[in-house]
Amino acid sequence: MMTGDWLDIGPVGQIEAGTARTLPVEGAQELAIFHTLRGEFFAIVNACPHKKGPLSQGIVHGDVVTCPLHNWNISLRDGRALGDDEGCVPTIPLRVDAGRIYLLRAAVLGGGAEAAPAEAEV
């Protein structure tokens, strides 16, 4: 079981494949946790680099989400806009271990360098 640097956000089963769910962070930007049809998990900030559309609500295909507002395609892997569009949304390191999802604590707090180590509790 991972602790310390990794924040346990619960079991994988709570996100249907092909969809995303949101994780608000007080004092930092809301995150979107994606589960792709290929079974991978990704965490990114839930705001499109175009006009802050909620990416969690887009259609997921491959490792890409299509923004629900103006159809930009955003790579879940590195947060970059694909095709002719330009922009990038921050990604948060994520690990899956024994059926649970963990986020890198420091990154959850907005790349916060001074993030204090904390105990994960679910």
Q: Under the rule (CB under 8 A), what is the footprint of another protein? A: 7-10, 12-19, 21-28, 33, 36-40, 51-54, 57-63, 66, 68-69, 71, 73, 75, 77-78, 80, 97-99, 105, 108-109, 115-122
- What's the rounded Cα separation, in Å, for the pair 112 and 106? 5
| Short-list 100, 95, 99, 91, CA closest to 122 | 100
Nearer to ligand FES among residue 69 and residue 120 (C-beta): 69
Q: How far is the CB of 12 from another protein (least distance, A)?
A: 7
DSSP three-state, residue 23: strand
